[in-house]
Structure 1
Amino acid sequence: METRTRDRVKQAVSEHGPITAAELAGRLGLTPAAVRRHLDCLADAGLLEEHEKAATGARRRGRPARAYVLTEAGHTDLREDYDSLAADVLRFLAEHAGSGAVTAYAQQRARELAERLARELDAAGDDIGDRTAALAAGLRREGYAASARPVATGTPLAGVQLCQGHCPVRDVAAEFPQLCEAEAEMFSDVLGVHVQRLASLAHGEHVCTTFVPLPDVPRAGASTPSTSPDSTERDPR
């Protein structure tokens, strides 16, 4: 109950701040003393900070009222609350419509992301390496902190390593892997090659890593198989 009330206080500060304890008490139906207790806890946690609010009316004289706003950490904490809401919605969807409905949602979300990345990908042409670099650029624009770098160059295992240092649905995807699976499938579709997810933020790794294989291009000077009959075939004579 304490945690739920504290979350209500934090949400109210987000929506109405700068706001005083007395104003919060009126909005939430709590006593000013109870509100101040929650405000102190949130401030001690670095989620709120005090601002002076000029007194009006009968309070024009005396000390300015203390008003509260969210800190940057408070905004981040609130976004995590929205993650919890998203997880609740997907649980409800899975329970009442089945896991297939969650998969359908994840695939729709991935398609919408692909549409937003289309500009970069269309400009990149057909080269898989160029398209992967364009994909990384588009993901960066979307806030995924993405990068791409070549790996195993000059070997049969040559490819591009696509890394994402941030994921807006990391915590939700830990419970609903369909989100990661749909994203990887979308990568395969837009790049035209089967990709392999090697690591995931949702599984506790520090970055999402996807391997994108490059076409096996023969090295310069490499011999090619002859189409002529086998020269070692024994003379029938």
Structure 2
Amino acid sequence: MEFDQTSLRSGEQPRGGDQTTRQRVARSILVNGASTAVALAERLDLTPAAVRRHLDQLVEEGAVESREARTATRGRGRPARAFVLTERGREGFDQQYDDLAVQALRFLSETGGDDAVREFAERRVGFIEERFGVVEAAHPELSPAQVLARVLSEEGYAAAVRDVPVGEQLCQQHCPVSHVAHEFPQLCEAETAAIGRVLDRHVQRLATIAHGDGVCTTCIPDLPQQHDPQDPDQQQASGLARTTSQQSATKKEQVSS
């Protein structure tokens, strides 16, 4: 049974319950990223044995590949395997841009130059700034990064936010324009710039699907801490810094004399 890419793009239900369930397995990996059979079974309310049967078929079709799962501790027995979508697997889902879009951008580049392509890319990601305020007002319980993730998910990016030591990380499990962005990185650059504008800080793109990574990741650093003269912790840190500076100055004076 082949991976039915046509039915996935059109949203039609394929013939046969197995294929429908297989699509659910593939879509769960698309939305949630690398997943073990056990995690998929819990997420989809299936047995691990049933999930493994569908995963084996997806692997055979070239839509999914397995890799050793990252775990904090490893016990006895074989290491767990995590499953991720391959490029062919991603092609089974909605792609907003195809060969026609690539040809159109090539023509735009040849006739208008890089500036024309860059202007097109900036216009395309206009939805980020247009939708951000609306979603933020409708969901005041969300952080700015979570608002952004929802805006992107509504456009097919399957985005989520996770905490990291330096702030937050935006993870986009799917990129509707990855094929085009591989040849025209201006699309990624415009998207990153728009993310920085709505969050009002400098962000850094760490990985992109367009360049062969499994997920697009963007680092969103914490804002610098504002100085509060009433904060005892900041007062203590400031006092320690002054003492250290004074001691250093004293030592320099002693050495020079």
Pairwise same-fold verdict (TM > 0.5): yes
Q: How far apart, CA to CA, are the structure 2 residues paired with 1:228 and 1:214?
A: 25
Identity of aligned residues (%): 41
Any conservation in 2 of the 1:117–1:139 contact (CA below 8 Å)? no
1:101 aligns with 2:101: no
- Which secondary structure does the structure 1 equivalent of 2:160 belong to? strand
Going from structure 1 to structure 2, the CA distance change for 1:117 and 1:215 (only over 3 Å counts) comes to closer
- Counterpart of 1:213, as a letter, is P
Matched, 1:146 2:154: no
User: Which residue in 2 is equivalent to 1:121?
Assistant: 136
> How far did residue 122 of structure 1 move?
4.2
How far apart in 2 are the matches of 1:187 and 1:91?
26
Report the Cα distance in structure 2 between the residues aligned to 1:198 and 1:116, rounded to whole angstroms.
Answer: 24
Counterpart pick for 2:149 among 126, 136, 141: 136
Alpha-carbon distance, 1:114 to partner: 2.2
Instruction: Quote the Cα distance in structure 2 between the aligned partners of 1:138 and 1:92.
Output: 30
Cα shift readout 1:1-35 (whole Å, capped 9, x = no counterpart): xxxxxxxxx9xxx9xxxxxxxxxxxxxxxxxxxxx
CA distance 1:190–1:159, shift in 2 (3 Å):
same
Q: What's the C-alpha RMSD, in Å, of the aligned pairs?
A: 3.6
Contact 2:175 2:209 in 1 (8 A): yes
Number of the residue aligned with 2:237: 224
Instruction: Please state how far the C-alpha of 1:111 moved relative to its aligned partner.
Output: 1.8
* CA distance in 1: counterparts of 2:182 and 2:167, whole angstroms: 27
CA gap of 1:164–1:90, structure 2 versus 1, over 3 A, is same
Which structure 1 residue ranges, 5 or more long, are not aligned? 1-9, 15-44, 46-72, 153-157
Q: How does 1:51-130 map to 2 (within 5 A)?
A: 82-122=97-137, 130=143
SS at match of 1:225: helix
The answer to whether residue 191 in structure 2 is matched with residue 183 in structure 1 is yes
- Once the 2 structures are TM-superposed, how far is the Cα of residue 228 of structure 1 from its aligned partner? 7.4
What secondary structure does 2:192 align onto? helix
Quick one: higher RCO (CA 8 Å, sep 6+), 1 or 2? Answer: 2
In the alignment, residue 124 of structure 2 is paired with which amino acid? R
Counterpart for residue 201 of structure 1: 209
- Distance in structure 2 (CA, Å) of the matches to 1:186 and 1:213: 16
* Distance in 1 between residues matched to 2:187 and 2:174, nearest whole Å: 14
Q: Which moved more, 1:225-234 or 1:167-176?
A: 225-234
Q: SS at 1:144's partner residue?
A: coil
Letter in 1 for 2:145: T
TM-score normalised by L of structure 2: 0.52
Query: Which sections of structure 2, spanning at least 5 residues, go unmatched?
Result: 1-5, 11-60, 62-87, 251-257
Pick closer, same or farther for the CA change 1:215–1:95 going to 2, 3 Å. same
- Which residue in the other structure is 2:167 paired with? 159
User: How many pairs are equivalent?
Assistant: 157
- Give 4+ residue runs of structure 1 displaced > 4 Å after superposition: 76-82, 122-125, 227-234
Q: Which has the larger radius of gyration?
A: 1
CA contact (8 A) 2:129 2:198 kept: yes
TM-score normalised to structure 1 length? 0.56
